[in-house]
């Protein structure tokens, strides 16, 4: 999510040769044009889109990776719910961005109201239905990542089915 020029997706394609398809989504058409032009693997597919409306069916992906784009999502909660919808049960979310322990350092930018603290981001991840969030320090003090798992239960149109209908 937020694939930019596609560099990371190309690196993942090299690292995981058994992956059948790798899809990059970005809101900026210029990024998708650049990513498509430099794609060197037939398994790479790039599409213009936003996190709040991922144009793929339920349970399509095993893994969703978003690096430094979460802060740009118009509606972070809706985007996370959408990520949960398109992840298969047991699929993983990797979300890396500027997250601080404290709110104050995040208020000096123009993105007030966004989940810029680990606590706020954890709450959004859990409310979207993900389980077992774990934080990882990435770069410096403020770049951190959270990984979480999509529960092993079925969803239809983004809604969890009652346990009596699970497969």
Low-confidence ranges of the chain (pLDDT < 70): 101-113, 115, 140-141, 152-167
Give, for 26, the enclosing helix (H) or strand (E): strand 22-26
- What is the predicted pLDDT for the residue at 8? 95
Measuring CA to CA, which residue among 29, 129, 130, 142 is closest to residue 96?
Answer: 142
The predicted-structure confidence for 100-134, as pLDDT tens digits, reads as follows 766 555 555 555 567 678 888 999 999 999 999 99
Distance CA 158, CA 151 (A): 13
- What is the predicted pLDDT for the residue at 164? 29
- What is the predicted pLDDT for the residue at 71? 87
- What is the predicted pLDDT for the residue at 140? 66
- What is the predicted pLDDT for the residue at 139? 73
- What is the predicted pLDDT for the residue at 103? 53
């Amino acid at each position: 999510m937020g694939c930019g020029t596609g560099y990371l997706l190309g690196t993942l394609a090299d690292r995981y040769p058994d992956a059948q398809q790798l899809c990059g989504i970005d809101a900026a058409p210029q990024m998708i044009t650049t990513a498509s032009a430099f794609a060197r693997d037939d398994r790479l597919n790039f599409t213009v889109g936003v996190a709040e409306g991922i144009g793929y069916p339920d349970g399509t992906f095993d893994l969703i990776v978003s690096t430094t784009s979460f802060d740009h999502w118009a509606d972070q909660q809706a985007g996370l719910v959408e990520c949960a919808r398109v992840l298969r049960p047991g699929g993983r979310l990797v979300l890396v961005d500027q997250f601080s322990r404290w709110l104050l350092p995040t208020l000096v930018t123009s993105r007030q109201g966004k989940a810029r603290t680990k606590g706020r981001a954890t709450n959004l991840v859990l409310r979207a239905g993900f389980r077992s969030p774990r934080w990882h320090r990435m770069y410096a003090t403020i770049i951190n990542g959270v990984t979480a798992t999509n529960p092993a239960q079925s969803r239809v149109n983004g809604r969890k089915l009652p346990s009596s209908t699970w497969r």
